[in-house]
């Protein structure tokens, strides 16, 4: 399974954030779902921070029309910085300066939202001929060891594409991808097939790709040939399936809790969990929640 030739250090990441977010309308009519707050930070900042703490040096965010807020968030903000400096608000200033210095962040527009696979294909010239990480902009994962880092470590061992996977419920597998897996050891599986949004008789397992993967650059040639699939979108799953069937991929049952910021319930769950441990409001919010529960 190991292919030492391909084991290069993962330095680049792609964060596709050009989706239309139709599951969380009406807010996404004018606000990118990736900018929805989890208490006081937009979802995409968690994703960028995860990439940086996983050792990623260069990040390409794929945006689209109406997503300018994302670029503004990672830009410098001289007027605000000046004001905070003059008012001696050091903590806030440090926080604001930190965001614009997080990493080398680049932006590219996907001119039409043709699907996640197409968004990744847009990154081809940025990536070149190296393996890279993909972090879906609407999947926020809270974990001790960054989920992306967990995948990178497995890539370094096997030299094959790695899928961040978790089990989903029998009821919901139809909304996700389904992976054909075989246990290698602990939380590591080989993956030899997959299907996007399976019908009842097509489910391969309850393991699904949840928001993170490490891809080898041969994915681009496959993506170029990938025709629109489920929902008439160019599906990343359809391209990864080709690699899984030919060379094989690895699936990691990553440790962490994933929140789907592309769904209304996911947004609320992430906000509540983050508020409970927030250094400023955590204690008061916990008390508020306890009082509220008594009334439910």
Positions that interact with ligand UTP (CB under 6 A): 16-23, 62, 110, 113-116, 118-119, 136-138, 262
- We find the least distance from the C-beta atom of residue 289 to ligand UTP, in angstroms, to be 28
Tell me whether residue 54 or residue 177 sits nearer to ligand UTP (CB atom).
177
Other beta carbons within 10 angstroms of residue 230's beta carbon come to 14
- We find the least distance from the C-beta atom of residue 273 to ligand UTP, in angstroms, to be 20
- We find the least distance from the C-beta atom of residue 119 to ligand UTP, in angstroms, to be 3
Q: How far is CA 66 from CA 21, 23, 94, 99, 262, in A?
A: 12, 17, 28, 21, 16
Tell me whether residue 110 or residue 192 sits nearer to ligand UTP (CB atom).
110
Tell me whether residue 18 or residue 151 sits nearer to ligand UTP (CB atom).
18
Using DSSP's 3-state secondary structure scheme, residue 57 falls into: coil
- We find the least distance from the C-beta atom of residue 182 to ligand UTP, in angstroms, to be 27
Count of helices and strands (H, E) across the chain: 11, 13
- We find the least distance from the C-beta atom of residue 127 to ligand UTP, in angstroms, to be 15
Distance (Å, whole) CA 233 – CA 178: 17
At a CB cut-off of 8 Å and minimum separation 6, what does 96 contact?
Answer: 77, 80, 81, 84
Helix (H) or strand (E) holding 47: helix 43-53
Tell me whether residue 20 or residue 242 sits nearer to ligand UTP (CB atom).
20
* CB closest to ligand UTP, residue no: 19
Total length of the chain: 296
Tell me whether residue 11 or residue 23 sits nearer to ligand UTP (CB atom).
23
Tell me whether residue 115 or residue 159 sits nearer to ligand UTP (CB atom).
115
- We find the least distance from the C-beta atom of residue 33 to ligand UTP, in angstroms, to be 7
Using DSSP's 3-state secondary structure scheme, residue 39 falls into: coil
Tell me whether residue 62 or residue 267 sits nearer to ligand UTP (CB atom).
62
Residue 242's DSSP bridge partners are: none
Distance (Å, whole) CA 124 – CA 122: 6
CA 98 to chain centre: 21
- We find the least distance from the C-beta atom of residue 169 to ligand UTP, in angstroms, to be 18
Distance (Å, whole) CA 210 – CA 215: 14
Tell me whether residue 59 or residue 93 sits nearer to ligand UTP (CB atom).
59
Using DSSP's 3-state secondary structure scheme, residue 189 falls into: strand
Q: What are phi and psi of 266, to 5 degrees?
A: -60, -40
Cα Rg of the chain (Å, integer): 20
- We find the least distance from the C-beta atom of residue 264 to ligand UTP, in angstroms, to be 10
Q: What is the DSSP letter of 26?
A: T
């Amino acid at each position: 399974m190991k292919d030492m030739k391909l084991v290069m250090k993962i330095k680049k990441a792609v964060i596709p954030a050009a989706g239309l977010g139709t599951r969380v309308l009406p807010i996404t009519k004018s606000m990118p779902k990736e900018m929805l707050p989890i208490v006081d930070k937009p979802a995409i900042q968690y994703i960028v921070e995860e990439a940086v703490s996983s050792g990623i040096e260069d990040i390409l965010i794929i945006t689209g029309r109406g997503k300018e807020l994302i670029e503004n968030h990672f830009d410098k903000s001289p007027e605000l910085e000046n004001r905070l400096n003059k008012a001696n608000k050091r903590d806030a200033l440090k926080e604001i300066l930190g965001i614009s210095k997080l990493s080398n962040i680049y932006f590219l527009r996907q001119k039409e939202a043709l699907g996640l696979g197409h968004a990744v294909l847009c990154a081809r010239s940025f990536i070149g001929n190296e393996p890279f990480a993909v972090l879906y902009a609407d999947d926020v994962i809270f974990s001790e060891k960054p989920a992306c880092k967990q995948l990178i470590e497995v890539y370094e061992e096997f030299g094959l594409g790695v899928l961040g996977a978790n089990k989903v419920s029998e009821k919901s597998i139809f909304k996700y991808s389904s992976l054909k897996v075989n246990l290698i050891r602990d939380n590591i599986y080989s993956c030899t097939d997959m299907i996007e949004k399976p019908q009842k008789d097509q489910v391969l397992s309850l393991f699904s790709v949840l928001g993170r993967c490490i891809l080898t650059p041969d994915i681009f040639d496959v993506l170029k040939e990938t025709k629109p699939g489920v929902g008439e979108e160019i599906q990343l799953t359809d391209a990864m399936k080709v690699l899984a069937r030919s060379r094989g991929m690895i699936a990691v049952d990553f440790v962490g809790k994933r929140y789907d910021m592309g769904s209304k319930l996911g947004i609320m769950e992430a906000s509540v969990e983050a508020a409970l441990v927030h250094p400023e409001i955590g204690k008061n919010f916990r008390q508020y929640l306890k009082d509220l529960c008594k009334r439910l």
